[in-house]
Structure formats: structure tokens, C-alpha cells
Structure 1
């Protein structure tokens, strides 16, 4: 008899254990939607490469920005193009090519007769990036002329750019690459010239800052 009275009391004391499948299904759907939203948001705003940090190096005026490795054939094409444009209005033509040696060849007149000359040089890269050509040998047909006299004839007869200096006493030619600038102000320096192994390397540099503009900028900021 006592057992019959306790059964309804247990049912009244724990009513929340009653299972409602629709309520649990709705809660599961809400959790799924929220979880998907958080996952998509995290993927959108996460860094794809967490260990990568972009590094920017300030490039200053006068710094090298590009190193160019070339060979004799490519440099000869460049020289030929430059001389063709530079000598188009000149009566005296000459060529400069790189083989196992650097060779300057051209024609001028001696005592009214045309003479073809061949000058052979060994190139040397200077510490400042310029190139010095030292005369190695000379060929002037069947004529026997002193080297210094031939160099003086070449200097008088051939039209050279302002950045090429010929020293007849030292028997050298200096290619002042520091005075040869591109239209945008960039310039080049020689790093290596090895004609036997066909290795030629130059560096391209940013324009140097103009001291006048630099001082103007400084005064304006003050």
C-alpha cells in the first residue's frame, strides 16, 4: 500500500527528464549554424602564411639594383648598335669588338692613302667600376709605325664619346662608365670581364641624388 503512494510522487519530482526530440533537434541545428559561421569567419580573417612577414629594404640613391651577367656575343651586339647610332654623321667609321682580346679596328688616311688599323687591348676592371683598356699589340698593314704615333692618329681621327679617354703616353683607353648614364639617370659599373671564359658582369645602379635638390629638400623641411 505504501508502494502505491510513492509512484506519483517520483513522477512529480523529476519532470525535466522527459525527452522532447524536436527541441533537441532544433538546438543541434542552431549549434551547427553557429559553428559553421565561426569557422568561415576564422578562415576569412586568418593569415594564409602565419610564418611569413613581408620585409622591405629601403633602396637608396646610388645603390645597385640589378646585376647583369652577359657574354661577348651579347655585348658585341650592344656595342655595334651604339656605334651605328653614334657614328651615323661621322665620316670616319670604326668598330670595337670583344674576342679573346678587345679589338678596335678602323680606317684613316696616312699621307693621302687609306690605312686600316687593328689595335688589340687587354681589359681590366678598375675598383671604381670603370674599365681600362691596355694596348697589347698593333697591326697597321705593312707600315712600321711607332705605337704612340698611331694612338695619336687614332685619337685625332676617330670620334669617341666624351666618357672614353685615350692616354697616348700610357698607351691606354679608359671607359668612364661612371660618366655614362641612361636617360633616366641610372648608370652601370663593371664587376667582371673575363674574355677567355666568356664571362662579363655589370651592375645597374639607381641615379645619384642631386646635391642641389637634396639641399633644397633639407631647407624646406627645416
Structure 2
């Protein structure tokens, strides 16, 4: 009987020990997941010295349209890809942008040494002044619940972009300021129509008035 009690006691102790091991492993896993999430959030929201550029005033250009350009997503994507490759040639962090049925911005950052890719989707809108506003609508970043505004802050901190592209994390928008885009001989562009579903993109080229600088 004592032998049975001894064996039973030994079995109970082993059960308790193994049970505690599983509990320890379970809570350790939770701690790792929570720690990683906190680390990721702190890295994304980390305050760095930002260089704020004064938003230039809207340029109300006077002129006459001399050429209406009808394009499509394939042609615009080729142009965007060429431009970004040249502009980001020496950049530490690069981003890709393409037009599908939505406008898509992709990039990656590292968490615990592993690359994490994000996909940020926008709806494009042509403004009355001929500029283009991209309004963020959804974000795909795996299973991580990161707000769109925080990802846009990260992009604003790290992206190498021309002055005529403005990122507004609070409003979750990107403004393509064609009124600030300079061309030779004073020629300027205005967006007329962007319909990605029907693959219809229209831009007008304007000849400035003689008295415009």
C-alpha cells in the first residue's frame, strides 16, 4: 500500500511539474507576443526629429490647355516606376507605388530583425484645382493591428519624396501638388479625371500666359 501511495504521490508531483511547465511556456509565449507588439508600436510611434516643410500656397496658374493626354494604368505605372527608381536610387528605405483598381503603396520595415511588409490602399480624387488627393482606405500588415495614421507617420519620416508630394498622417491623405510641379518653359499639368476601375486617366497640359513667370 505504501508503495502504491508512493507511486501515486510521485505521479501527482510529475503531473504538477509538467502542468506548471506548460503554464510557464504559455505565459512566456503571451509575454513574447505582447512584448513584440509593444516593441513594434514603440518603433513606429518613436518620436524622431522631423523636418517640417512649410506648405507652399496654392498656385493659381493662368493658361490655356494645349494638349489633352488620355492614359491608362499600365502607362502611368511604367512612368511612376521609372521616376521612383531614379528618385530613390540612393535612399536607405524605398517604397513602391502602383495603380490597380485602387492606388497601392507598399514598403517594409523590420521588427525583431524580420522584415514586415505593409500594403496601404488609397482612393484617388481629382481636386477642382487639378491636384490629386489620395485618401487612405485600408491597410494590410499581416496580423498586426497598426493604425493607418501611424504607418503614414513612418512613411513621412523615412520616404524620400519630391517637395510637391505632401503626406498628411492625421488626415490619412497624400496630396500630389501638380500646382507645384515645375516643367520647362512654364508648362504645367492639371489632372482632369481618374477612374481606375474603367482604366481612364486624363491629364491636360497647359500653356502659361505670357505674363506668368
Both proteins in one fold, TM over 0.5: yes
Q: TM-score, normalised by structure 1?
A: 0.64
Q: TM-score, normalised by structure 2?
A: 0.67
Q: Work out whether 1:67 is the aligned partner of 2:68.
A: yes
- How large is the RMSD of aligned CA atoms in angstroms? 1.9
What number of residue pairs does the alignment pair up? 153
Q: Work out whether 1:170 is the aligned partner of 2:171.
A: yes
Q: Larger relative contact order (C-alpha < 8 A, sep ≥ 6)?
A: 2
TM alignment of 1:5-84, pairs within 5 A: 62-84=63-85
How far the C-alpha of 1:209 sits from its partner, in A, is 4.9
The question of whether the paired residues in 2 share the 8 Å contact of 1:79 and 1:97 is answered with: yes
CA, structure 1 residues 208+116, in 2 after alignment: closer, same or farther (shift >3 Å)? farther
Consecutive unaligned residues in structure 2, runs of 5 or more = 1-61
CA, structure 1 residues 111+177, in 2 after alignment: closer, same or farther (shift >3 Å)? farther
The equivalent residue for 1:88 is 89
The question of whether the paired residues in 2 share the 8 Å contact of 1:108 and 1:157 is answered with: no
Where 2:68 maps in the other structure, the secondary structure is strand
Q: Work out whether 1:97 is the aligned partner of 2:98.
A: yes
Q: Provide the rounded CA distance (Å) in 2 between the counterparts of 1:175 and 1:162.
A: 10
How far the C-alpha of 1:158 sits from its partner, in A, is 1.3
The equivalent residue for 2:142 is 141
The farther-off stretch of 199-208 and 118-127 is: 199-208
Q: Provide the rounded CA distance (Å) in 1 between the counterparts of 2:137 and 2:147.
A: 13
Return the index of the structure with the highest Cα Rg. 1
Q: Provide the rounded CA distance (Å) in 2 between the counterparts of 1:71 and 1:145.
A: 33
CA, structure 1 residues 99+63, in 2 after alignment: closer, same or farther (shift >3 Å)? same
